[in-house]
Amino acid sequence: MAPESMMMYLRAKAIADEYLSMSEIPFTIVRPGALTDDEGTGSVQASKSIKDKSQSILREDVASVLIASLTLQEAKNQTFEIVSGDKRIEEALNFIQ
C-alpha cells in the first residue's frame, strides 16, 4: 500500500494512464516500484504485473528501461511494471516481444 502522501498522485496517474491507453496516441506505460537513489545495476525484473508491490528499483535503472523502451517496437502500446531484478534490461524486456 502506498503512503497517504502519494495517494493523490497515484489516483491522477491512474486516470492519465487510462486516458492514454484508450486514446489513439502510441504509448508505453512503465510502472516502477518504489524508487531508490543508489547507483543503477542495469538489471531489472519486468512483467505485466509484479506480484510483490513492495519491491523497489533504482532510479538510474528506471531511466535505462525508459530509454530501451523508446527503440523497442514491441513496447508500443504496452503497459508493464519493473522492479530491481537479476536480468539485464534487454533480456528482462523480452517478455513483451
Annotated catalytic residue 19: no
Q: What is the DSSP letter of 40?
A: P
Catalytic residue, from 2, 6, 7, 9: name it: 9
Whole-angstrom distance, CA of residue 37 vs CA of residue 59: 6
The answer to whether the CB of 85 falls within 8 A of the CB of 51 is no
Cell triple for residue 73?
Answer: 517496437
- Catalytic positions are 9
